[in-house]
Amino acid sequence: MKTLVIAEKPSVAQDIVRALTPVAGKFDKHEEHFENEKYVVTSAVGHLVEIQAPEEFDVKRGKWSFANLPVIPPRFDLKPVDKTKTRLNAVVKQAKRKDVTQLVNACDAGREGELIFRLIEQYAGGKSPLGKPVKRLWLQSMTPQAIRDGFDQLRTEQQMQGLADAARSRSEADWLVGINGTRAMTAFNSRDGGFFLTTVGRVQTPTLSVVVEREEKIRKFVSRDYWEVHGSFLAEAGEYPGKWFDPNWKKPPPGPDGVADPEQRADRVWNEREAREIAEAARGKTATVTEESKPTTQASPLLFDLTSLQREANGRFGFSAKTTLALAQSLYERHKALTYPRTDSRALPEDYLPVVKQTMGMLANSGMRHLAPFAQQAIDGNYVKPSKRIFDNAKVSDHFAIIPTLQAPSGLSDAEQKLYDFVVRRFMSVFFPSAEYQVTTRISTVEHAGKKYPFRTDGKVLVKPGWLAIYGKEAQDDEKEDDKDGKRLVPVKPGEMVKVESVEPKGLKTRPPARYSEATLLGAMEGAGKTIDDDELREAMQEKGLGTPATRAAIIEGLLAEKYMHREGRELIPTAKAFQLMTLLRGLGVEELSKAELTGEWEYKLAQMEHGKLSREAFMREIAEMTEHIVKKAKEYDRDTVPGDYATLATPCPNCGGVVKENYRRYSCTGKPGQEPCGFSFGKSPAGRTFEVEEAEQLLRDKQIGPLEGFRSKAGWPFTSEIVLKFDDEANNWKLEFDFGDDKNAETGEIVDFAGQESLGPCPKCASRVFEYGSNYVCEKSVPTEAQPTPSCDFKTGKIILQQPVDRAQVEKLLATGKTDLLDKFVSMRTRRAFKAFLAWNKEEGKVTFEFEPRTSKFPPRKTFTKAAPAAAKKAAAKTPAAKKVAAKKAAAPKAPRKPGAGLKPSDALAAVIGADPVPRTEVIKKLWDYIKANGLQDAANKRAINADAKLKPVFGKDQVTMFELAGIVGKHLA
């Protein structure tokens, strides 16, 4: 009879096998499991099974309609996660073995680990329970002894029932709120036709709300003028700066909104006259000096958990949260160089001290010259000691902090190396002594007309760098200054009077709060509980925040993918779609979906459930009632618009000249003052894509905008299109239409006028000029014109190709060099998957085609530090029969020289620039451009003009030509 042990990850299964081998005997390794006389050890790879509505309750057709909402099934079925079906089948196969009579849940110690195991066990049983007793291995440390101790103290299934109930309840509650909330809001927003997917969720929507609320503050921010008074003081030893401050200043009381004005400071003056009076009173005077100097220390930051690593890597390297997680996961799984990264703990288990010492030894001998000496210093100085700040079981949850393993890595990519070094430095620094500073506060006081005017100067000198030495900071000497932390002040003798050299008021403006970056948003998600007023709910969220360290990056990426926000540099900016969702939730009275309190309330109740103080049935009943409430509010809302803070457009109505205002669904004419509206309006979210206010303004002003991405068809497929406002004779008003660029002029014979347009370059077919026309870029000879009513060329390429907008700059490059940059938003018609490609002119096919990047390996090339193989070994290898055979084959069949490609022969003048070999026309232009750029012949004032040098003048026939003349000129030099 055997016991099946199911771990959450393969690496944990291996750790368990290594720990049990001395006490339970040697294990045989099989493809998907390990086995000995007593145990079978296997593992999941995270979640292998997910919940779904049973078949009879699963709405396939009409799921986006109110008619089929809410969906509250009496139970949940299970389905395999597609990516891990093979692993699931392997685990289930072991669980069903007749000789396996007991299971041990060795998944991670926490709610999600409990859920992963329970769902696998349920799935393995099928319609009837598996019926095998279950024990729980609860580990907070992965040392061999801790694992063996865990097996000696296995917990019973009954002991874990509360945690299991809480895990299932959290999963099912998220499903109910996410599915019903998303379908209800989508149904509401799609009432006017089309399909407007509006996703909501317990974590993603409050996260979005944080970003939207910050943006609202920025938009409403009114900058105020203030002044600071800066002086310069001359002592015997030299000069130093000072800033005036009010010594009697007190923090202002909270305003009507309960928040104190954050702009009020002791060193700010709120009118220019007063600032000038202070400067005038101090100018040219002498000042008395008082000084206080004291030592301070600064300890190293704590070890990394995933969120702090993501935040700091975003700030230091610009890595997104998703990128940092992927790099950390690769360093953990592939290189075995870091411990498990998806952790929310910043401490280590108390029995981990010996492992830390071994890790420090590995680093000291690793050959990493920039880090090894510090590891050796830690060993020599016996820095690794027991400390509750670092080693504390109470602060270790499912996993401990991210630290380097005993495995010295090799073959890291540049990004992996950066992150590994980042973690290693933090690991070493936490054991180093604190940095020591000498902090000086100097007050220089000027007296004038019975009043005192104090100026403050702060100095901060690094005396002992301690852990900062690992980051390249050294103690300062007398000449050295640290501009970032302040600086060493020139000394002032006791009782010395200093002269006010200069003093000036400096006019400044208050600035709005900064937008969120990924780093600051991760911090806001982690600390979301701090914003909750209810003490019990805040306590419940103290360790949780919004999401978990493992899911926060995916939540941010999901909000970006759904176009609720976009990145601009490092800033995250909410879109019109995000504002519209928040307006809807507020207007419908279901704001709980956008508040962190919902998560706080759930965490509080789930904690009660874990301790047996709340039943699973009661909690799920409340969730069902909340779901019904959300759907009911959306279904029964019958007013014309949802109340909100809406914009007024600057451009007048094209129909009557009236004022156009935004409401929840549309931009509508409200008429001229004192007149009725004319009926003109257009939808805010055609085909599920919401206009930004600036886009709506441009559409109204220019009657055209685009191409724009992000539209969805009724079937839910994404597409890209231009949008136009066209006058409808039947309705006697303007209306919005999609413009897919069906250019009819060539068929109807209507004359096209390109006057006033600037050409993009020469046609690769006939060297005539190429212009924008409708939704295409066309040769002027491919459409009827005054000069040539009958088209003689057929060159045309789209402004949108497979949903990829192609802008003017890319087409100019295509016409000049034969190829665009790499474009990354093409979407396959067959697979609906995005792909990257260049657009290139294909002379043989006579059209623009795709050109793909050369395929590269999935993993970056490994950097190796081994010495090159000796020459003798290379010679030996060359003497093998296989090598001789290959060499003989090569000798027998030498490669024929490549024939030059069929092309045109350049004239003598052109050959002096590009060579005399026959060459295709597109290659000529490419070579010419290479020559022009290499010799800096583009005109400095007008980049579209090219200056002729001694070689080019015989080709051009004049001193300067435009890039659009090139093809025509070159054509005369090709035979």
d(CA 973, CA 928): 13
Nearest CA to 899 among 914, 919, 913?
919
383 contacts 432 by C-beta, under 8 angstroms: yes
SS3 state of residue 606: helix
Active site residue 777: no
d(CA 399, CA 93): 28
Q: Which helix (H) or strand (E) holds 719?
A: strand 718-728
Of 226, 340, 383, 773, which one is the catalytic site residue?
Answer: 340
d(CA 687, CA 966): 43
Residue 867, phi then psi, degrees to nearest 5: -75, 155
- As a three-state string, the secondary structure of 486-544 is CCCCCCCCCCCCEEEEEEEEEEEECCCCCCCEHHHHHHHHHCHHHHCCCHHHHHHCCCC
SS3 state of residue 958: coil
d(CA 959, CA 952): 9
SS3 state of residue 122: helix
63: left (phi over 0), alpha (psi -120 to 50) or beta: alpha
Q: Is 36 buried (19+), middle (13-18) or exposed (0-12) by CB count in 10 A? A: middle
**What is each CA distance from 325 to 306, 320, 343, 551, in whole angstroms?**
8, 9, 11, 10
Query: DSSP assignment, residue 907?
Result: P
Residue 740, phi then psi, degrees to nearest 5: -95, 10
Which residues have a Cβ under 8 Å from the Cβ of 821 and sit 6 or more positions away? 810, 813, 838
Residue 745, phi then psi, degrees to nearest 5: -60, -40
d(CA 348, CA 389): 9
d(CA 432, CA 529): 32
Angle made by CA atoms 642, 643, 647, in degrees to the nearest 5: 105
In 10 A of CB 702, how many CB atoms? 11
d(CA 219, CA 206): 20
SS3 state of residue 644: coil
Sign (positive or negative) of CA dihedral 415, 420, 421, 423: positive
964 contacts 769 by C-beta, under 8 angstroms: yes
672 contacts 658 by C-beta, under 8 angstroms: yes
Question: What residues are annotated to the active site?
Answer: 340
